[in-house]
């Protein structure tokens, strides 16, 4: 027996059931996806965005910003660490600001103290200068009177001294002259080292300065039969120096060369142009300087041991004056010497020197 049933209705029900299943599935998927997205936003995106915003705030200098995370996961811990770090940064900045305030106050106090100290130094320097001027005037006048009296007593036909008495008077005359030299050197060194020392820079033909020094000391050299040699190129350029101070330098150096050179010796003065400088050499065939004395010869009142043993009188101040003047001209001074064979003192001066006061 055959039974015939129509399937159209059944097919329609199956299709409706499939569509309904798909719709349920899509709806469930959307709900799950939306829920996951919301969870990701709440627990990941928002904390990370807060971290980003906080980083920008800190970069802009706002250390009061806090994330305030209440999550207990890794992102929450990161937010709490961020807030802790920000708080520590704020504390550190406040401490630094406090230290800056204290530092400014200390610097202000130090500056005021320094200005006060400088003022006191200027006052002391002025007192020293006044004292030195008074001392120079007083001592010079008294020593001058002593020299005049001794010279008068030693004149032929006036003196009735014995040979021993005459020797004593000559010693007094010589020593008083040395005392005047010491006084002049101390006054000059004090001035050159003082804050008020002035250097008047001008264009000077160095050859003229060296020639003048050479001529002024030629007679002194002739008394000891010392030959003098001056070698300065005619085309030596002009340099910016204080003429008077420069004459002091080379008068001192050449005078020393003559003083420490024995009879029939030689003293040479030469100058050459070298790049942006002028190099001047003062060379003698004198007693020389021991190696152990060389580092000390520019010290005030220092005299080499062989100078004392040879009974050559001096103050030990001249080279200190020379060094100070050369330094003020931004120059350099060097010494080469061999005991018993002579000394070479080299002065190197720049062609152009900024004005010093």
Q: What are the pLDDT digits (tens) for 59-72?
A: 666 666 666 665 55
Clarify whether residues 262 and 302 are in a common domain.
Answer: yes
Specify the pLDDT at position 280: 93
The set of residues, in sequence order, having a beta carbon less than 8 Å from that of 312 and lying 6+ positions away, is 259, 260, 287
What string of DSSP letters covers 4-19? ----HHHHHHHHHHHH
Clarify whether residues 172 and 253 are in a common domain.
Answer: no
What string of DSSP letters covers 184-217? HHHHHHHHHHSTT-----EEEEHHHHHHHHHHHH
On whether residue 188 sits in a domain, the answer given is: yes
Tell whether the torsion through CA atoms of 310, 315, 320 and 321 is positive or negative. Answer: negative
Clarify whether residues 338 and 207 are in a common domain.
Answer: yes
On whether residue 66 sits in a domain, the answer given is: no
183: domain range?
119-193
Clarify whether residues 142 and 266 are in a common domain.
Answer: no
Kindly report, residue by residue over 48-60, the tens digit of the pLDDT: 676 676 677 666 6
What string of DSSP letters covers 128-161? HHHHHHHHHHHHHHHHHHHHHHHHHHHSTTT---
Q: Cα separation of 45 and 250, whole Å?
A: 85
Residue 158 pLDDT exceeds 80: no
The helix/strand/coil state of 302 is coil
The pair phi, psi for residue 21, each rounded to 5°, is -65, -45
On whether residue 50 sits in a domain, the answer given is: no
The rounded percent of the chain whose pLDDT value lies above 90 is 16
On whether residue 357 sits in a domain, the answer given is: no
Kindly report, residue by residue over 94-142, the tens digit of the pLDDT: 888 888 888 888 888 888 888 888 888 777 766 766 666 666 666 767 7
Enclosing H/E stretch for 100:
helix 74-154
Q: Cα separation of 343 and 281, whole Å?
A: 10
Clarify whether residues 173 and 206 are in a common domain.
Answer: no
On whether residue 7 sits in a domain, the answer given is: no
- pLDDT band per the 50, 70, 90 thresholds, residue 285: very high
Enclosing H/E stretch for 278:
strand 277-284
């Amino acid at each position: 027996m055959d039974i015939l049933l129509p399937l159209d209705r059944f097919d329609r029900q199956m299709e409706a059931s499939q569509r309904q299943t798909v719709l349920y599935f899509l709806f469930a998927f959307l709900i799950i996806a939306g829920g996951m997205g919301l969870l990701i936003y709440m627990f990941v995106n928002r904390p990370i965005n807060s971290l980003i915003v906080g980083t920008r705030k800190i970069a802009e200098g706002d250390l009061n910003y806090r994330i305030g995370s209440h999550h207990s996961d890794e992102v929450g811990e990161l937010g709490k660490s961020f807030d802790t770090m920000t708080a520590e940064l704020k504390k550190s900045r406040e401490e630094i600001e406090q230290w800056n305030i204290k530092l400014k106050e200390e610097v202000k106090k130090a500056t005021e103290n320094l200005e006060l100290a400088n003022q006191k130094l200027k006052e002391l320097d002025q007192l020293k200068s006044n004292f030195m001027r008074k001392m120079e005037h007083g001592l010079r006048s008294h020593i001058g009177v002593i020299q005049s009296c001794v010279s008068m007593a030693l004149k032929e036909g006036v003196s009735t001294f014995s040979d021993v008495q005459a020797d004593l008077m000559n010693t007094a005359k010589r020593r008083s002259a040395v005392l005047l030299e010491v006084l002049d050197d101390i006054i000059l060194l004090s001035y050159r080292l003082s804050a008020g020392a002035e250097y008047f820079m001008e264009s000077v033909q160095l050859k003229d300065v060296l020639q003048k020094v050479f001529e002024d000391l030629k007679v002194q050299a002739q008394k000891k039969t010392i030959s003098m040699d001056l070698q300065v190129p005619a085309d030596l350029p002009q340099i910016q120096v204080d003429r008077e101070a420069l004459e002091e330098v080379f008068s001192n150096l050449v005078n020393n060369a003559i003083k420490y050179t024995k009879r029939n010796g030689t003293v040479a003065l030469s100058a050459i142009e070298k790049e942006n400088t002028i190099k001047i050499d003062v060379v003698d065939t004198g007693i020389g300087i021991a190696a152990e004395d060389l580092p000390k010869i520019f010290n005030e009142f220092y005299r080499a041991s062989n100078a004392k043993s040879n009974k050559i009188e001096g103050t030990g101040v001249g080279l200190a004056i020379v060094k100070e003047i050369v330094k003020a001209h931004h120059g350099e001074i060097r010494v080469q010497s061999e005991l018993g064979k002579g000394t070479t003192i080299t002065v190197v001066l720049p062609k152009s020197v900024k004005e010093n006061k």
